[in-house]
Structure formats: structure tokens, C-alpha cells
Amino acid sequence: EIVMTQSPATLSVSPGERATLSCRASQSVSSNLAWYQQKPGQAPRLLIYGASTSATGIPARFSGSGSGTEFTLTISSLQSEDFAVYYCQQYNNWPLFTFGPGTKVDIK
């Protein structure tokens, strides 16, 4: 099983600042890495797939990078609606597509 880890667990950021979230896989997942955003009481929403491709309708301030085992989600200028929990997920190994434990981005 591929284990996904995320850091930090919580990130406190002021509106307008840049946020950088990390995700690491226990073995290479190539570029088969997705990022999801989840707000309280809502289902997760796809932000990024293929490690760096934005999903439809996702604002340009969200960007992803990385390959292999190290990945980054960057939010260039945090807006109020971006405070949420962010999960990474590898989908390299059918059928066990494991999630990371999440990073909570909250207001500083």
C-alpha cells in the first residue's frame, strides 16, 4: 500500500498571503496525484489532477507541482473562501487510491 503524508497538519495564513502545502508518497506515483478541497459540511471538490492540471472552474491562484514522491499545492493569494482542508490522493495503483491525512488551512 502506498502511504501518503501531508505537511503541515495545520497552516495558519493571513488573507492575501501565499500558502504552500506538501504531499509525499511512500513510493513513486508518477504524476498520478490529485488535490481536493473540502469545506465544512461539504463534499470534497477536485482542484488539481495529474499533479499540475487544474480542474474545470478552479481559480488560477491554485497550482500544483511535483512528480514521483514529492508534490506541492500552492495557493498564490489566499481568499476567504480558500480556508478549508486540502487532501492529496494518489491514483497510480488500482484499486487502492490512498488519501493523505489532510492539511487544514485556517485564518491567521
Binding site residues, another protein, CB under 8 A: 32, 34, 36, 38, 42-46, 49-50, 55, 87, 89, 91, 94-102
CB atoms within 10 A of CB 51: 23
Q: How far is the CB of 81 from another protein (least distance, A)?
A: 18
Task: Please check whether residue 3 is in contact with residue 55, taking contact to mean a CB–CB distance below 8 angstroms.
Answer: no
CB of residue 3 to another protein, shortest distance in Å: 13
C-beta of 13: minimal distance to another protein in Å? 20
Around Cβ 107, how many Cβ atoms within 10 Å? 10
Using alpha carbons, select from 78, 51, 79, 47 the residue that is nearest to residue 66: 51
Instruction: List residues bridging with 12 in a β-sheet.
Output: 106
Nearer to another protein, 77 or 93 (CB): 93
Of the two residues 96 and 107, which places its CB atom closer to another protein in the complex? Answer: 96
